[in-house]
Amino acid sequence: MMGCSKNTGYSGIQQKKSGEIYRRPVPSQFKPMQIPEPTEVVCIKTEKIYESCESVETNEQITDLCEVAVGEIEDVWCIDVEMVSDKKHPFHCEKIPNTNRAKISFWYRFRFAYVDQSGQKFYSSRPVFFEKMVILSDQIFDKRLHLQCDVFLDCFECFVSASQQVTCCIGKLLLIRLVAMVQLLVPAYGFCDEPESCTEVEAGCPGFEPVWPPFPPQPVNSNNNNDDGDNGDG
């Protein structure tokens, strides 16, 4: 029977079919991981998350292509989805005054490709409005905490829902946090290591790195392999 047991994760602990618990010998070369002591304790200024939540949902966007499609739509697939942010399509992440609610609103655009009787075509939607309201704890009333919202979008499926109609599934992951700028005392191991050199763009041809050997691969001669177990004696 597959699956996790209550004894999973204990070093050397095993259980027989009879239910008896026994300990398997631990290899002599096994040593617990050694964690070095920090070299200093530093004070850093950073944003601290006091509260966070996520909202995940899928919306169906139905697109009628009767004015542009030639005949029936035979196939369709997602291309991408992206946020639209400008003066006409603002992004809002705000507390609702005198409540423990927060609201996030934004616009997005999705694209898909489809095949009708005249061939392959592309469609880009107009900006679509989305709004979500969530409930947070009473910490939201603290004026020292400000609201922070992150949006992750994914057009993970489109399908033909009628002869000249397409439905796209738009996934939305919203991360909502109450944060504040604070000073934290943390153990440190000094400054970060020096990073690797950047890959530079060079004009002209790149360096030649031939594959060795430059010869055709040697074919395997099955006649030289004696697989019948006969060692030639008698």
Q: What is the DSSP letter of 30?
A: -
In a domain, 174, yes or no: yes
Host domain of residue 162: 45-188
* Residue 201 scores a pLDDT above 80: no
Q: Is 161 exposed, middle or buried (0-12, 13-18, 19+ CB in 10 A)?
A: middle
Q: Residues 155, 168: contact at Cβ < 8 Å? A: yes
Which residues lie closer than 8 Å to 39 by C-beta, 6 or more apart? 188, 189, 190
Position 16 confidence tier, pLDDT thresholds 50, 70, 90: low
Q: Is residue 4 part of a domain?
A: no
Q: Is residue 111 a contact partner of residue 80, using CB atoms and an 8 Å limit?
A: yes
* Whole-number pLDDT of residue 52: 96
Rg (C-alpha) for the chain, rounded Å, is 31
Give percent above pLDDT 90 in the chain: 63
* pLDDT, tens digit, 9 for 90 and up, residues 144-159: 999 999 999 999 999 9
Question: How high is the pLDDT of residue 231?
Answer: 53
Give how far Cα 108 sits from Cα of 60, 95, 126, 160, Å. Answer: 13, 22, 8, 21
Confidence of residue 228 (pLDDT cuts 50, 70, 90): low
> What is the largest distance, in Å, between two alpha-carbon atoms of the chain?
100
CA dist., res. 115 & res. 121, Å (int): 6
Q: What is the pLDDT of residue 4?
A: 41
pLDDT of residue 226: 54
* pLDDT higher than threshold 90 for residue 167: yes
Quote the percentage of the chain above a pLDDT of 70.
80
**Tokens found for residue 73:** 């739509």
pLDDT at 44 over 80: yes
| Confidence class for position 11, pLDDT limits 50, 70, 90 | very low
In a domain, residue 179? The reply is yes
Least reliable range by pLDDT among 3-7, 19-23, 185-189, 191-195: 3-7
Mean pLDDT of the chain: 85
- The length of the chain in residues reads 234
Q: Is the pLDDT of residue 136 over 60?
A: yes
For residue 174, give the H/E element and its range.
Answer: strand 165-188
- The total number of structural domains that make up the chain: 1
Angle, alpha carbons 189-193-199 (nearest 5°): 160
Q: For residues 229 and 19, which has the higher predicted lDDT (pLDDT)?
A: 19
Q: Give 26's pLDDT tier (boundaries 50, 70, 90).
A: low
| Residue 176 belongs to a domain | yes
Predicted confidence (pLDDT) at residue 7 exceeds the cutoff of 50: no
What average pLDDT does the segment 76-85 reach? 96
pLDDT at 125: 96
Tell whether 124 is covered by a domain.
yes
Listed residue (88, 83, 50) closest to 184, CA to CA: 50
Q: Would you state the torsion angle of the CA atoms of residues 27, 29, 32, 37, taken in this order, to the nearest 10 degrees? A: 180
User: Is residue 6 in some structural domain?
Assistant: no
b/e for 44-57, b at 16 or more Cβ within 10 A? Answer: eeeeeebeeeeeee
- Residue 165 domain-assigned (yes or no): yes
Task: Give the tokens for residue 157.
Answer: 């499926």
Task: Give a yes or no: residue 24 inside a domain.
Answer: no
